[in-house]
């Protein structure tokens, strides 16, 4: 199962000095199961000595052979055990059949002829048996056999598939991932029903043994990138992966950068689209988020709506979003530096209006902006954590306090409120929460630079940010691709969203093995322009 590819990267692992709880199992080493039932039960009871939900059900197979079903009470589906395990095995059988059972290996017959459960196999070593128990499987030990039968009987409570809260779309699929890995993988498989789709599973974390899946399309994804992902995952040495966010922080290229270098999504369709571009997705048990690598910055302002709607509309909406993104970064800093250093850049009438609004404000514009922006951040954070009913009330109070009362009280000018509102709304127009937050936070250093050195300071700050982004890489792919290094094909999907039949190539900086997304000749269905309808041409047109 998962072991094969892990072996390949064994050299990448470093010896760990952290004691691992499961070392208890190590005393059993490669010990084989015992044919004596009481011996097997003793071992299980010893390992699970302090665990009260361990259940052992002794039974007599076909009224003849001693056996025991061992499982963890809280994790299994008891109905499966009753129906699939106990019922067929405890049934009476004819004497002829009994004779046959005596003569051949009992365990083989049970496995191949009696058990009506797909997910069952024979296991001969003690350690995997014990581990299987803790992952919700049921162990069937039969007296006289070295092997035990392991049955998948896990039952995990899960919620229904809903529309993702963080990535809503107007037009497009409404389903999102949930916390159960198997369900998520089935959602993904359902969208890519091809032999190409590879899913590599392995437990991550010393204690949690969190099942983690690496998915990619074999004939598209660059093997170097896949290798790189697996290698980095192997380096993770931690207790348990509680969310995909843990993995992200372990494997990202530049942990000290404010910019996220790995995309996360709750949407299977988005994951499938990424896989089709040659990216690699990482899903983990217990997290409704898939990680997608390598990531370009452009992915953070693209949404599914861009693609499901016609391309002109999609392009326009994307432009709007880009304006919002840039304004959320530099608007307040520009305001401060224009007011304090270069008022001559503002048209005269407007400058007079601004000066009039600022007349009663006691602080320099720099302090004013910091106060209002700071309180806006507090308000935003408070609203997120509150239950929806109270959140609504709070935002009304916040709007009143920040908007109207602050101006009346005389510590902010009306134009300031407009600037802050534009910035805040602008940052919410960015679909990816993590990158929006990065830009929101970077605006504070820019405000300080603008307050001290005017436009020059803002420009230097922006250059610092741009230079930093130019240096970033995500799994070997340049962060600002397809703009830098340039790729004309990629730029069709950067500022604008080109028509789908026009974007023929996959992103070149992912080095896809098969770079053609569409056939080289026009992929669009040729349409003859018929001027008169109802005739033969008209009918042909619809075919």
State the residues that interact with other proteins by CB under 8 A. 224, 228, 232, 253, 341-342, 344-349, 453-460, 463-464, 466-467, 470-471, 473, 476-478, 480, 483-486, 509, 511
Q: Which is nearer to other proteins, 67 or 458 (CB)?
A: 458
Q: Which is nearer to other proteins, 161 or 351 (CB)?
A: 351
Least distance between other proteins and beta carbon 221 (Å): 14
Least distance between other proteins and beta carbon 479 (Å): 10
Provide DSSP, 36-98.
Answer: -HHHHHHHHHHHTTT-TTEEEEEEEETTTEEEEEEEETTTB-HHHIIIIIIHHHHS---HHHH
Residues 200, 204, 209, 210, CA torsion sign: negative
Least distance between other proteins and beta carbon 493 (Å): 18
Looking only at the bridges linking them, the beta strands covering 473-474 and 477-478 are antiparallel
Q: Which is nearer to other proteins, 76 or 477 (CB)?
A: 477
Least distance between other proteins and beta carbon 276 (Å): 21
* Distance separating alpha carbons of residues 230 and 207, to the nearest angstrom: 20
> Which two three-digit tokens encode residue 420?
């802050």
Least distance between other proteins and beta carbon 470 (Å): 5
Q: Is 516 helix (H, G, I), strand (E, B) or coil?
A: strand
Least distance between other proteins and beta carbon 394 (Å): 40
Burial annotation 524-537 (CB, 10 A radius, 16+ → b, else e): eeeeeeeeeeeeee
Q: Which is nearer to other proteins, 38 or 516 (CB)?
A: 516
Burial annotation 91-123 (CB, 10 A radius, 16+ → b, else e): eeeeeeeeeebeeeebbebbbeebbebeebebb
Least distance between other proteins and beta carbon 486 (Å): 7
Q: Which is nearer to other proteins, 109 or 455 (CB)?
A: 455
Q: Which is nearer to other proteins, 386 or 470 (CB)?
A: 470
* Distance separating alpha carbons of residues 22 and 207, to the nearest angstrom: 7
Q: How far is CA 467 from the centre of its chain?
A: 28
Q: Which is nearer to other proteins, 165 or 348 (CB)?
A: 348
- From 371, 359, 377, select the one nearest 451 (Cα to Cα): 371
């Amino acid at each position: 199962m998962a072991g094969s590819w892990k072996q390949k990267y064994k050299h990448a692992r470093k010896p760990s000095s952290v004691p691992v709880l499961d070392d208890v199992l190590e005393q059993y080493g490669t010990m084989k199961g015992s044919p004596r039932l009481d011996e097997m039960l003793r071992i299980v009871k010893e390992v699970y000595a302090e665990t009260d939900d361990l259940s052992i059900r002794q039974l007599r197979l076909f009224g003849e052979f001693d056996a025991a079903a061992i499982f963890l009470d809280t994790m299994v589906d008891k109905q499966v055990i009753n129906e699939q395990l106990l019922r067929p095995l405890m049934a009476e059988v004819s004497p002829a059949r009994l004779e046959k059972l005596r003569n051949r290996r009992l365990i083989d017959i049970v496995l191949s002829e009696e058990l009506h459960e797909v997910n069952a196999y024979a296991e001969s070593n003690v350690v995997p048996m014990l581990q299987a128990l803790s992952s919700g499987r049921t162990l069937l030990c039969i007296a006289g056999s070295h092997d035990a039968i392991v049955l998948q009987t896990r039952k995990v409570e899960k919620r229904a598939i809903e529309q993702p809260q963080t990535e809503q779309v107007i037009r497009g699929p409404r389903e999102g991932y949930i916390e159960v890995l198997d369900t998520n993988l089935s959602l993904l498989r359902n969208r890519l029903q091809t032999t190409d789709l590879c899913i590599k599973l392995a437990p991550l974390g010393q204690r949690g043994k969190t099942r983690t899946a690496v998915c990619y399309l074999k004939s598209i994804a660059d093997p170097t990138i896949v290798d790189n992902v697996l290698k980095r995952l192997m380096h993770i040495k931690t207790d348990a992966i509680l969310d995909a966010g843990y993995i992200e922080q372990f494997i990202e290229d530049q942990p000290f950068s404010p910019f996220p270098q790995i995309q996360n999504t709750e949407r299977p369709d988005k994951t499938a689209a990424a896989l089709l571009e040659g990216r690699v997705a990482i899903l983990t048990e217990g997290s409704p988020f898939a990680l997608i690598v390598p990531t370009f910055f452009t992915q953070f302002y693209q949404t599914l709506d861009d693609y499901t709607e016609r391309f002109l509309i999609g392009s326009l909406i994307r432009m709007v979003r880009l304006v919002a993104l840039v304004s959320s970064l530099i608007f307040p800093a520009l305001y401060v530096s224009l007011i304090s250093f270069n008022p001559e850049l503002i048209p005269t009438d407007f400058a007079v209006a601004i000066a009039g609004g600022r007349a009663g404000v006691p602080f320099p514009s720099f302090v004013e902006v910091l106060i209002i922006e700071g309180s806006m951040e507090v308000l935003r954070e408070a609203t997120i954590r509150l239950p929806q009913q109270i959140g609504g009330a709070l935002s009304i109070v916040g709007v009143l306090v920040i908007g109207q009362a602050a101006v009346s009280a005389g510590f902010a000018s009306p134009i300031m409120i407009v600037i802050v509102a534009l910035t805040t709304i602008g940052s919410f127009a960015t679909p990816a929460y993590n990158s929006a937050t990065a830009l929101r936070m970077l605006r504070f250093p820019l405000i300080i630079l603008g307050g001290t050195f005017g436009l020059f300071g803002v420009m230097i700050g922006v250059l610092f940010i741009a230079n930093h982004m130019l240096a970033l890489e995500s799994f070997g792919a340049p962060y600002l691709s397809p703009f830098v290094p340039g790729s004309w094909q990629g730029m069709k999907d950067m500022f604008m969203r080109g028509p789908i039949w026009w974007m023929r190539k996959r992103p070149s900086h992912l080095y896809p093995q098969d770079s053609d997304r569409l056939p080289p000749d026009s992929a669009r269905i040729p349409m003859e322009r018929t001027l008169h309808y109802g005739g033969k041409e008209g009918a042909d047109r619809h075919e």
